[in-house]
């Protein structure tokens, strides 16, 4: 019944590295927290299972032993017993205190970011994550070096989101207007899912990406260098296509003409656009630029004005040029 | 035999729509609540099944769904799915589980358990029901206009910017809140003022203690959700900057105010369920409940603790670390009285004479289901494990075990228990038990796999998921359909008992000695001609089985009324 061979969801970027399998109850243990968190999970599991088994065994035994056909009349028995009641209050309480204390200790580890941790900023916007590294590089997939404490400073541009990396056993909400943080030390190279776990509207379940753990610092640095200018050596249209996914335009705008949360980019240039206020115009480069920087200026009929300026991203002038070039290239069939 | 169905009773004493709609009779109001709640439960259940249908297989993208369900591509399945789970949650919480036991069963049974003719404020009681109807109308308005996609939690800022019918829904929930407050107030005053001579606090049936503890929460906590929803509505309409960060507001503040009510609300759902289970276990074991005082005090203790644990819903929300630690510690304090109740229930079975009638099947199911629901709360109260499990399917499974497995199963058990008193008929035990067994298996099949999906990392409120979670979701969906089949059979058993050849119910089919069983089935309009004598609520030796009646009769009947047992030394009032 339980599928023991997990397949990895087809994420936007695939990795050649094999992702290790998890166990029956858990994803792979890929961070410093995993072993301790799973140990505590198992501790509670066994205490609860034994307690549950005892109560159910007692229930079933009593029901069978004292069912009416066997015991037509109730037999005298005490209606209360202070001794018994104290025992079954105190013994569970002892386990509860242990659980609280172990949970508290682990929580302190979760919250105490080691000095000198490598800081990456994460920013959520419907429905995309952007990660910014100290070198100025940005990515939509989280890249981290193995064996080094990494701190993720999290915020949101719009509604509540939450960063959740199951393999690392870490989670923290992204709250607009404030920073939250989490930290971890990856202990295993590979590619692991990263989910949004705070409901954020239509494409909440598509707001996922991956975490790539680089085995050595050198490998990570190599990646960082490439990420600093991802558009190097590309034509403007190619760059625009990359910006389209990298900046999350694809979360709402399709490039194949299909309707989504927002109008499709295909066949946009040169088409006549009808707006909510009754006006219309023929889409040109200036209209597209305006729609990127100030999306609420002209709202296409039948759509909600939900997009933030620049899609909530820090688009450079160059990237806007790339996007205009890319949209221009998406002619109608 | 005067023990049979009377000619004039509360069901037939007055006829017509108006005689029901404007009734002041607590029994009629209880019945109307019950059917309204069942109707809402069916609606919420349909949404649950739609959710499980979507989740049965992974990678059901826009194209596949549009083809499969004929949904319009513009609306999009993700949007529809978000409406389904939101409406499922909102309907089940506000329209079903919160009023379920206190308003439906409480209204029907509580005054009779006190030997009273009605609740303390019958007009307020009717007003509560009319408020429930008004609140339900607003929910239906939300449903048929733009729907609702915020999740039942209405978290800001998403609830401020979505273009769905948030204001209709918050208005509905606001009105339902007042319905709940008035019901709580009525029950509380009724218990204080209408207890008969001889019924001291510790001679009250435990159901009354549970309803009393519930009423405290309803009165003290519900105004806070009213305020929270009012603030949310003001923020949405006027944009004054309470929760919206772009206006200087704080979305985490909404979470605090919301959970300040909504955590105690969990106990508005569970405490009355525990009261019902306590009654059922004692009566079907023919034993006094073990540790009466511990159970009574644990209800009150849970009610008090429930006010100071709300922060455990927010361990990863960004609230301060110190606050997290304090809330974790306080949360564990609720575990102790909950455990005490379960142990006392089991001890009640010891040396009893246990009849396995349908209500008892539900009571025993609740021991299993609440056991799992309660124990899985330990992982979520523990800070170190909650971080991984928070907002995953583990949480979904946990609260369904508590809110459905305990509250709804106890509610249905209570309906089967009081059904002979409500309608004066007995249902077919075999059909009823078949439904119970299928529902129990279906429930476990639905939610046990979700624990594993959650600990493997599947987030909640996802309309699509990774391939690795496919098998858990498949079995969960099969379980949901099984659960649905079981519940339909249970409902069929009840409805069938009213149709065709009816099997008349005796005044006291289960051998209970609480006062609600000391009048005819169905009861006369004013329940009792004179206040019944009172002794311990679980002195089962005061009644004995009578084969002719197919029910229990008093060992020592009071002159002139064969339904009234002469209780110990108590004198007629």
pLDDT tens profile A294-314 = 988 889 888 888 888 888 888
Rounded CA separation B179/B185 (Å): 10
Interface test with B, best of A171, A250, A251, A276 (most B CBs within 10 A): A171
Question: What b/e string do you get for B438-457 counting C-beta neighbours within 10 Å, with b at 16 or more?
Answer: bbbebbbbbbbbbbbbbbbb
- A 86-125: CB under 8 A from B: 88-89, 92-93, 96-97, 99-100, 102-107, 110-111
Residue contact B325–A107, C-beta within 8 A: yes
Give the position of tokens 């001890």.
Answer: B347
pLDDT tens profile A168-198 = 999 999 999 999 999 999 999 999 999 999 9
Residue contact A84–B347, C-beta within 8 A: yes
- pLDDT band of residue A227 (cuts 50, 70, 90) is confident
Q: Which of B158, B346, B379 sits opposite A41 (nearest CB)?
A: B379
Q: What is the pLDDT of residue B536?
A: 83
Compare A69 and A228 and report the one with higher pLDDT. A69
Q: Packing angle between helix B470-498 and helix B429-455, nearest 10 degrees?
A: 160
Q: Strand, coil or helix: what is A176?
A: strand
Contact B266, B225 (CB under 8 A): no
pLDDT tens profile B371-410 = 999 999 999 999 999 999 999 999 999 999 999 999 999 9
Q: Of B132, B74, B112, nearest to B417 (Cα)?
A: B112
By the 10 Å C-beta count (0-12 exposed, 13-18 middle, 19+ buried), A259 is classed as middle
**Nearest-5° Cα angle at B294, B288 to B297:** 120
The ipTM is: 0.91
Interface test with A, best of B316, B320, B461 (most A CBs within 10 A): B316
Q: Strand, coil or helix: what is B380?
A: helix
Q: Would you call A160 an interface residue with chain B, using a CB distance cutoff of 8 Å?
A: yes
Interface test with B, best of A124, A126, A202, A302 (most B CBs within 10 A): A202
pLDDT tens profile B168-226 = 999 999 999 999 999 999 999 999 999 988 899 999 999 999 999 999 999 999 999 99
Q: Would you call A250 an interface residue with chain B, using a CB distance cutoff of 8 Å?
A: no
Q: Would you call A8 an interface residue with chain B, using a CB distance cutoff of 8 Å?
A: yes
Contact B33, B107 (CB under 8 A): yes
Residue contact B351–A76, C-beta within 8 A: yes
Q: Which of A3, A100, A105 sits opposite B470 (nearest CB)?
A: A3
Contact A226, A42 (CB under 8 A): no
Arithmetic mean of pLDDT, B136-144: 93
Query: Which two three-digit tokens encode residue B144?
Result: 């048929």
Q: How far is A310 from chain B (nearest CA, A)?
A: 17
Compare B354 and B64 and report the one with higher pLDDT. B354
Q: What is the pLDDT of residue B61?
A: 54
Residue contact A1–B372, C-beta within 8 A: no
Q: Packing angle between helix B26-55 and helix B470-498, nearest 10 degrees?
A: 150
Which helix (H) or strand (E) element contains residue B67? helix B62-69
Q: Strand, coil or helix: what is B75?
A: coil
Q: Which of A59, A88, A193 sits opposite B349 (nearest CB)?
A: A59
Chain B neighbors of A172, CB-CB under 8 A: 316, 318
Evaluate if residue B67 carries a pLDDT over 70.
Answer: no
- pLDDT band of residue A10 (cuts 50, 70, 90) is very low
Interface test with B, best of A75, A79, A82 (most B CBs within 10 A): A79
Evaluate if residue A1 carries a pLDDT over 50.
Answer: no
Give the position of tokens 């503890």.
Answer: B213
Arithmetic mean of pLDDT, A84-101: 94
Residue contact A171–B388, C-beta within 8 A: yes
Evaluate if residue B76 carries a pLDDT over 60.
Answer: no
Closest-CA residue of A relative to B474 is: A1
- Is the dihedral angle over the CA atoms A260, A265, A269, A275 positive or is it negative? positive
DSSP symbols for A14-67? --SSPPPP--SSS----BTTHHHHHHHHHHHHHHHHHHHHHHHHHHHHHHHHTB
Q: How far is B260 from chain A (nearest CA, A)?
A: 19
By the 10 Å C-beta count (0-12 exposed, 13-18 middle, 19+ buried), A22 is classed as buried
Residue contact B388–A51, C-beta within 8 A: no
Interface test with B, best of A96, A102, A194, A299 (most B CBs within 10 A): A96
- pLDDT band of residue B555 (cuts 50, 70, 90) is confident
Give the least confident one: A80-94, A253-267, B265-279, B514-528: A253-267
Contact B469, B58 (CB under 8 A): yes
Q: Strand, coil or helix: what is A194?
A: strand
Q: How far is B115 from chain A (nearest CA, A)?
A: 25
Q: How far is B256 from chain A (nearest CA, A)?
A: 14
Q: Which of B163, B328, B350 sits opposite A77 (nearest CB)?
A: B350
Cα-Cα-Cα-Cα torsion B106, B107, B113, B118, nearest 10 degrees, comes to 160
- A 18-47: CB under 8 A from B: 22, 24-27, 36-37, 40-41, 44, 47
B382 HSE (CA, 13 A, CB side): 30
**Residue A215 CB partners (closer than 8 Å, separation 6+):** A146, A189
Arithmetic mean of pLDDT, A109-131: 94
Q: Which of B329, B382, B387 sits opposite A169 (nearest CB)?
A: B387
Rounded CA separation B210/B470 (Å): 41
Give the position of tokens 């970011």.
Answer: A113
Alpha-helical runs (H) found in A123-216: none
Rounded CA separation B554/B541 (Å): 9
pLDDT over 70 percentage in chain A: 94
Residue contact A63–B356, C-beta within 8 A: yes
Q: Would you call A166 an interface residue with chain B, using a CB distance cutoff of 8 Å?
A: yes
Give the least confident one: A277-291, A308-322, B102-116: A308-322
Residue contact B78–A205, C-beta within 8 A: yes
Q: Of B380, B525, B548, nearest to B454 (Cα)?
A: B380
Q: Would you call A152 an interface residue with chain B, using a CB distance cutoff of 8 Å?
A: no
Q: How far is A192 from chain B (nearest CA, A)?
A: 11
The DSSP output letter for B153 is T
Q: Which of A62, A97, A103 sits opposite B385 (nearest CB)?
A: A103
Where in B495-560 does DSSP place strands (E)?
543-546, 551-554, 557-558
Query: Which two three-digit tokens encode residue A43?
Result: 């501790």
Q: What is the pLDDT of residue A246?
A: 84
Contact B358, B433 (CB under 8 A): yes
Alpha-helical runs (H) found in B91-165: 98-99, 106-113, 122-144, 158-161
Q: What is the pLDDT of residue B425?
A: 94
Q: Of B95, B177, B182, nearest to B140 (Cα)?
A: B95
Rounded CA separation B544/B551 (Å): 8
Rounded CA separation A17/A214 (Å): 10
The DSSP output letter for B425 is B
Q: Of A151, A43, A191, A37, nearest to B388 (Cα)?
A: A37
Rounded CA separation A185/B547 (Å): 73
Chain B neighbors of A91, CB-CB under 8 A: none
Rounded CA separation B535/B203 (Å): 7
- pLDDT band of residue A5 (cuts 50, 70, 90) is very low
Average model confidence (pLDDT) across chain A? 88
Q: What is the pLDDT of residue B566?
A: 55
Chain A neighbors of B352, CB-CB under 8 A: 62, 66, 71, 74
pLDDT over 90 percentage in chain B: 74
Evaluate if residue B75 carries a pLDDT over 50.
Answer: no
Backbone angles phi, psi at A272, to 5 degrees: -85, 125
Q: What number of C-beta contacts closer than 8 Å exist between A and B?
A: 288
pLDDT tens profile B442-462 = 999 999 999 999 999 999 999
Q: Strand, coil or helix: what is A211?
A: strand
Q: How far is A224 from chain B (nearest CA, A)?
A: 28
- Is the dihedral angle over the CA atoms B295, B539, A59, B417 positive or is it negative? negative
Arithmetic mean of pLDDT, B353-369: 96
Chain A neighbors of B384, CB-CB under 8 A: 36-37, 40, 102-107, 110
Contact A143, B417 (CB under 8 A): no
Contact A35, A29 (CB under 8 A): yes
- pLDDT band of residue A231 (cuts 50, 70, 90) is confident
Rounded CA separation B167/B170 (Å): 5
Can you name the residues that pair with A125 across neighbouring β-strands?
A128
Evaluate if residue A76 carries a pLDDT over 50.
Answer: yes
Arithmetic mean of pLDDT, A265-276: 89
B120 HSE (CA, 13 A, CB side): 15
Closest-CA residue of B relative to A112 is: B321
Query: Which two three-digit tokens encode residue B515?
Result: 């006062």
Q: Strand, coil or helix: what is A113?
A: coil
pLDDT tens profile A26-56 = 999 999 999 999 999 999 999 999 999 999 9
Evaluate if residue B411 carries a pLDDT over 60.
Answer: yes
Give the position of tokens 């200018």.
Answer: A229
Evaluate if residue B414 carries a pLDDT over 90.
Answer: yes
Contact A128, A248 (CB under 8 A): yes
Residue contact A80–B456, C-beta within 8 A: no
Query: Which two three-digit tokens encode residue B124?
Result: 């307020």
Average model confidence (pLDDT) across chain B? 90
Evaluate if residue A65 carries a pLDDT over 80.
Answer: yes
Residue contact A204–B461, C-beta within 8 A: yes
Contact B485, B442 (CB under 8 A): yes
pLDDT tens profile B244-276 = 999 999 999 999 999 999 999 999 999 999 999
């Amino acid at each position: 019944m339980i599928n023991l061979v997990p397949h990895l969801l087809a994420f936007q970027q695939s990795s050649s590295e094999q992702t290790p399998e998890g166990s029956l109850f858990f994803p792979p243990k890929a961070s410093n927290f995993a072993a301790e968190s799973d140990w505590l999970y198992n501790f509670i599991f066994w205490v609860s299972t034994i307690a549950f088994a005892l109560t159910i065994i007692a229930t079933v035994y009593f029901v069978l032993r004292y069912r009416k056909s066997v015991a037509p009349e109730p037999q005298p028995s005490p209606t209360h017993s202070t001794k018994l009641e104290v025992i079954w209050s105190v013994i569970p309480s002892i386990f509860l205190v242990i659980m609280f204390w172990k949970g508290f200790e682990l929580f302190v580890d979760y919250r105490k970011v080691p000095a000198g941790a490598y800081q990456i900023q994460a920013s959520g916007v419907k429905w995309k994550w952007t990660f910014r590294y100290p070198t100025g590089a940005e990515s939509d997939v989280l890249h981290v070096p193995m064996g080094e404490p990494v701190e993720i400073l999290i915020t949101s541009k719009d509604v509540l989101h939450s960063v959740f990396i199951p393999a690392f056993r870490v989670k923290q909400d992204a709250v607009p207007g404030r920073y939250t943080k989490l930290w971890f030390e990856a202990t295993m190279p590979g590619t692991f899912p990263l989910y949004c776990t705070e409901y954020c509207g239509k494409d909440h379940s598509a707001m996922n990406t991956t975490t790539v753990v680089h085995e050595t610092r050198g490998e990570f640095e190599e990646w960082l260098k490439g990420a600093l200018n991802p558009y190097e050596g590309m034509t403007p249209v190619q760059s625009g296509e990359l910006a389209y996914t990298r900046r999350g335009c694809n979360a709402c705008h399709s490039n194949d003409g299909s309707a989504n949360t927002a109008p499709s980019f295909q066949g946009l240039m040169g088409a006549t656009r009808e707006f909510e206020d009754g006006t219309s115009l023929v889409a040109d480069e200036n209209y597209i630029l305006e729609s990127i920087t100030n999306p609420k200026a002209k709202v296409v009929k039948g759509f909600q004005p939900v997009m933030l300026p620049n899609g909530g991203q820090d688009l450079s002038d160059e990237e806007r040029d790339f996007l205009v070039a890319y949209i221009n290239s998406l002619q109608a069939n | 035999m005067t023990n049979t169905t009377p000619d004039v009773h509360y069901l037939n004493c007055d006829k017509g729509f108006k005689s029901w709609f404007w009734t002041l009779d607590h029994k009629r109001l209880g019945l109307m609540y019950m059917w309204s709640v069942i109707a809402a439960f069916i609606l919420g259940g349909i949404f649950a099944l739609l959710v499980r249908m979507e989740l049965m297989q992974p990678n059901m993208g826009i194209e596949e769904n549009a083809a499969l369900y004929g949904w319009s591509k513009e609306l999009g399945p993700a949007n529809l799915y978000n409406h389904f789970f939101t409406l499922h949650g909102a309907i089940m919480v506000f329209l079903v589980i919160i009023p379920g036991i206190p308003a439906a069963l409480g209204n029907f049974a509580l005054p009779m358990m006190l030997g009273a003719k009605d609740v303390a404020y019958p007009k307020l009681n009717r007003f509560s029901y009319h408020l429930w109807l008004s609140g339900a109308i607003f929910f239906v308005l939300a449903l048929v206009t733009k729907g609702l996609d915020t999740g039942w939690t209405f978290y800001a800022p998403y609830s401020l910017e979505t273009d769905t019918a948030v204001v209709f829904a918050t208005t509905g929930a606001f009105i339902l809140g007042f319905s709940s407050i008035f019901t709580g107030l009525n029950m509380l005053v009724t218990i204080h003022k209408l207890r008969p001579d001889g019924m001291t606090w510790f001679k009250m049936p435990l159901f009354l203690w549970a309803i009393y503890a519930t009423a405290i929460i309803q009165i003290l906590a519900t105004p806070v959700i009213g305020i929270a929803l009012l603030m949310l509505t003001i923020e949405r309409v006027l944009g004054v900057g309470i929760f919206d960060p772009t206006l200087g507001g704080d979305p985490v503040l909404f979470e605090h105010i919301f959970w300040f009510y909504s955590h105690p609300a969990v106990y508005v759902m569970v405490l009355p369920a525990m009261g019902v289970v306590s009654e059922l276990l004692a009566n079907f074991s023919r034993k006094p409940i073990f540790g009466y005082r511990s159970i009574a005090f644990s209800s009150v203790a849970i009610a008090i603790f429930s006010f100071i644990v709300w922060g455990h819903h927010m361990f990863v929300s960004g609230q301060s670390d110190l606050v997290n630690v304090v809330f974790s510690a306080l949360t564990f304090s609720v575990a102790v009285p909950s455990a005490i109740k379960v142990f006392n229930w089991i001890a009640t079975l010891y040396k009893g004479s246990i009849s396995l009638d349908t209500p008892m099947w539900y009571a025993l199911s609740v021991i299993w289901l609440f056991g799992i629901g309660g124990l899985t709360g330990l992982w979520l109260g523990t800070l170190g494990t909650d971080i991984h499990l928070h907002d995953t399917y583990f949480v979904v499974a946990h609260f369904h075990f508590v809110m459905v497995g305990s509250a709804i199963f106890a509610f249905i058990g209570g309906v089967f228990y009081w059904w002979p008193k409500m309608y004066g008929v007995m249902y077919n035990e075999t059909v009823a038990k078949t439904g119970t067994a299928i529902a129990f298996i279906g429930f476990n099949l639905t939610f046990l796999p979700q624990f594993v999906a959650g600990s493997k990392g599947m987030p909640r409120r996802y309309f699509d998921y990774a391939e690795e979670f496919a098998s858990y979701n498949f079995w969960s969906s099969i379980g949901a359909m099984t659960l649905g089949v079981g519940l339909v059979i249970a409902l069929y058993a009840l409805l069938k008992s009213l149709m065709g050849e009816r099997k008349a119910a005796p005044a006291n089919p289960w051998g209970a000695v609480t006062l609600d069983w000391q009048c005819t089935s169905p009861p006369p309009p004013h329940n009792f001609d004179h206040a019944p004598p009172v002794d311990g609520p679980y002195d089962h030796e005061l009644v004995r089985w009578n084969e002719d009646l197919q029910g229990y009769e008093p060992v020592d009947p009071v002159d002139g009324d064969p339904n009234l047992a002469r209780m110990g030394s108590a004198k007629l009032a």
